Amino acid sequence: MKKTDFLIIGSGIAGLSFALKAAAYGKVCIITKANEEESNTKYAQGGVAVVIDKADSYANHINDTLVAGDGLCNQAIVEMVVKQGPERIQEIIDYGINFDKNPIGDYHLAKEGGHSAHRVLHFKDITGLEIEQVLLDKVHQNPNIEIYSHYFALELITEHHLGKTVDKNADKTCFGVYVLNTTNHQIETISAKITLMASGGAGHAYSTTTNPTIATGDGLSMVYRAKGKVRNMEFIQFHPTALYEPGVYPSFLISEALRGCGGILKNKKGEAFVNAVDSRGSLAPRDIVARAIDAEMKKYGADCVYLDMRHIAKSELLNEFPNIFAKCLSIGIDMSADLIPVVPAAHYMCGGILVDENSKSSIQNLYACGECAATGLHGANRLASNSLLEALVFAHRAIESAKKEIDSIVNCSNIPDWNDFGTSQSNEDILVTHNLREVQRIMSDYVGIVRSDFRLARAMRRLKLIYEETESFYKQTKLSVPLCELRNLIQVAYIIIKSATLRKESRGLHYTTDYPHKNNQELKDTIF
Ligand code: FAD
Ligand code: SIN
């Protein structure tokens, strides 16, 4: 059994930025299921929203976040994140992270949907890669931090594993995790005083997503299985503009910053159709734009719509969006001369593990931050580029709280080994891949941008069968990452459908044809 003070699950911006601070208070162990840099963070394009321009104000950023969140944000949390943002950004600039500047040396600020000002710090169109690389370099230099890649977290260890019966309402404590070392296929135990879940999102619950393949909702499912609380999982953000490239999975993102730079969404007749539903046109918040695209595609039976960048100077496109330009060119699209075919794709999990203002989950000694956590910032729809900021602010708050607790917690030393007695190696991987595809199809067809009670009920009935089959297979089979990810995605899908079914209104990212309006009397979070 390994023992550590701080155990971190995930090596994206949330996990790494927490690790760098936690190392001042004890031994830190990071486990991550793939190569250490593989994360949603690495693929972030647009940048980090933060108030640093004198012409901008906290009040404007707060208001934009609240408007995008469609009445469901926690205002105190929004104010706290926006106001603490500049300090956290200065810290990562001091770590060595570069953001683009204009010729007179001021930061170049981009604009994205729902923002009333240019306030997005970015490094070209590969902001996430820059952040991930610098944070990893800092982590490698720190002797108090160990990082284990290809370690897949299986289950949180709680009183349940010590032989006690734990019901949903009893206090629970996290003592560490069981992990699958995917290099030697051994299951190991890690005992930790404090555990941070920083495992990211769950884009792969859907058949088209911008998320890399690590995004399978593992952390959320582990917490739910450990009887921790989750919140607002019906709010899955579809990014309006993923590159339409049939057969390619996951999808390549076409950053909203392109629309911030003047790009216009058009239908196949060349009409700028979003203006018909919102005066902000192509730069309206994402829920509105994604729905407008969905409606347009259904109206014309089209496979995609188009982003028109042809009126922007080629030199500007090349300078600001070199990565996107190169990707488009690689498939024969010169964005200075051709329309870019785009479709909405699952992109961001606005709900997640319920946490308080200090990133504390409902399970003792378990914190959560980053995309896997539901802090109250995003409400029913995240404002673009607010998530990297949220991860930094909540990682900081988590360590500020955890450092006061760490010395009073003792590692649990009587954790039993993982018991896989009676299981055997599977030679039926097709059962896993088939069920995964089926879950993703159910979610995309019935629980996507537009929902209804009929579709949700149908989705739940079908999911139940897949759940039963998979659980029975799981109990008989030696564990593998694909099997565990499938099981987690089924859990995530169940939570999304259940939350969506409970919300009898349309708000933000949850639109249902049965209740097409907001119901302000019923305004509340879905927590269970
Ligand atoms: P991640 O960066 O996803 O890291 C999660 C980590 O957990 C990974 O290392 C993963 O391997 C690990 N992990 C997961 N499960 C397990 C397990 N079972 N065991 C061990 N390890 C595990 N947001 C913005 O604010 N601005 C942007 O410009 C922006 N652009 C984006 C572009 C794309 C294409 C995508 C996909 C997202 C974008 N986002 C953006 C969202 C943002 O990138 C993410 O929300 C954020 O990076 C999440 O950080 P995180 O640390 O919480 O999770
Ligand atoms: C983008 O660049 O469009 C993604 C920004 C985000 O998801 O916040």
Top-confidence residue, 163 or 220: 220
CB 1 within 8 A of CB 191: yes
Question: Among all ligands shown, which has an atom nearest to the Cα of 153?
Answer: 1
In the prediction, which pLDDT does 497 show? 98
Q: Could you tell me which residues come within 8 angstroms of residue 346 by beta carbon, excluding any fewer than 6 positions away?
A: 203, 205, 206, 208, 209, 210, 211, 236, 237, 238, 239, 444
Q: What is the share, in percent, of the chain residues with pLDDT greater than 70?
A: 100
Q: Ligand 1 centroid vs 25 CA: distance in angstroms?
A: 25
Cα end-to-end distance, the chain, whole Å: 32
Question: Among all ligands shown, which has an atom nearest to the Cα of 259?
Answer: 2
Two structure tokens written together for 89: 């950004």
Closest C-alpha to ligand 1, atom 26: 385
Ligand 2 pocket, mutate which of 129, 252, 255, 349 (most atoms under 8 A from CB): 255
Q: Ligand 2 centroid vs 355 CA: distance in angstroms?
A: 23
Residue ranges around ligand 1 (CB below 6 Å): 9-15, 31-34, 38-41, 43-48, 127-128, 152-153, 198-200, 210-211, 214, 218-219, 253, 348, 370-372, 385-388, 391
d(CA 21, CA 93): 15
Burial of 77 (0-12, 13-18, 19+ CB in 10 A): buried
In the prediction, which pLDDT does 9 show? 99
Task: Report the run of H or E that residue 223 belongs to, with start and end.
Answer: helix 218-225
The pLDDT mean for the chain works out to: 96
In the prediction, which pLDDT does 118 show? 95
Question: Among all ligands shown, which has an atom nearest to the Cα of 369?
Answer: 1
Query: Measured from the CA of 387, which atom of ligand 2 is nearest?
Result: 8
Query: Measured from the CA of 151, which atom of ligand 1 is nearest?
Result: 20
Closest C-alpha to ligand 1, atom 25: 385
Query: Measured from the CA of 211, which atom of ligand 1 is nearest?
Result: 36
For residue 523, pLDDT beyond 70: no
Q: Ligand 2 centroid vs 248 CA: distance in angstroms?
A: 20
Q: Ligand 2 centroid vs 146 CA: distance in angstroms?
A: 31
Q: How crowded is residue 187: how many other Cβ atoms within 10 Å of its Cβ?
A: 17
Q: List the catalytic residue out of 88, 286, 382, 451.
A: 286
CB 348 within 8 A of CB 289: no
Question: Among all ligands shown, which has an atom nearest to the Cα of 41?
Answer: 1
Split at pLDDT 50, 70, 90, the class of 421 is confident
The average pLDDT across 167-180 equals: 91
Query: Measured from the CA of 388, which atom of ligand 2 is nearest?
Result: 8
CATH value of 429-514 in 3.40.50.2300, 1.20.58.100, 1.10.3720.10, 3.30.70.1520: 1.20.58.100
Ligand 2 pocket, mutate which of 237, 239, 378 (most atoms under 8 A from CB): 239
Q: Ligand 2 centroid vs 300 CA: distance in angstroms?
A: 27
CATH value of 2-234+350-408 in 3.50.50.60, 2.30.40.10, 3.40.50.150, 1.10.3470.10: 3.50.50.60
For residue 427, pLDDT beyond 80: no
Q: Ligand 2 centroid vs 429 CA: distance in angstroms?
A: 35
CB 80 within 8 A of CB 393: yes
Two structure tokens written together for 141: 């230099």
Q: Ligand 1 centroid vs 143 CA: distance in angstroms?
A: 25
Split at pLDDT 50, 70, 90, the class of 422 is confident
For residue 157, pLDDT beyond 80: yes
Per-residue pLDDT reduced to its tens digit, 51-61: 999 999 999 99
Ligand 1 pocket, mutate which of 190, 195, 388, 487 (most atoms under 8 A from CB): 388
Per-residue pLDDT reduced to its tens digit, 11-39: 999 999 999 999 999 999 999 999 999 99
d(CA 15, CA 5): 15
Split at pLDDT 50, 70, 90, the class of 167 is confident
Two structure tokens written together for 15: 């996990």
Question: Would you list the domain boundaries of the chain?
Answer: 2-234+350-408, 254-344, 429-514
Q: Ligand 2 centroid vs 353 CA: distance in angstroms?
A: 22
In the prediction, which pLDDT does 392 show? 98
Split at pLDDT 50, 70, 90, the class of 320 is very high
- Identify whether 286 is a catalytic site residue: yes
Ligand 2 pocket, mutate which of 256, 340, 381 (most atoms under 8 A from CB): 256
For residue 168, pLDDT beyond 80: no
Whether the CA torsion 124, 125, 128, 132 is positive or negative: it is: negative
Residue ranges around ligand 2 (CB below 6 Å): 45-46, 255-257, 348, 384-385, 387
Query: Measured from the CA of 45, which atom of ligand 2 is nearest?
Result: 2
d(CA 175, CA 194): 8
The average pLDDT across 364-371 equals: 98
- Does the domain formed by 254-344 have CATH 3.90.700.10? yes
Question: Among all ligands shown, which has an atom nearest to the Cα of 263?
Answer: 2
Per-residue pLDDT reduced to its tens digit, 450-485: 999 999 999 999 999 999 999 999 999 999 999 999
Q: What is the share, in percent, of the chain residues with pLDDT greater than 90?
A: 94
In the prediction, which pLDDT does 366 show? 98
The average pLDDT across 326-354 equals: 98
Q: Ligand 2 centroid vs 390 CA: distance in angstroms?
A: 14
Closest C-alpha to ligand 1, atom 15: 199
Query: Measured from the CA of 46, which atom of ligand 1 is nearest?
Result: 28
d(CA 417, CA 428): 27
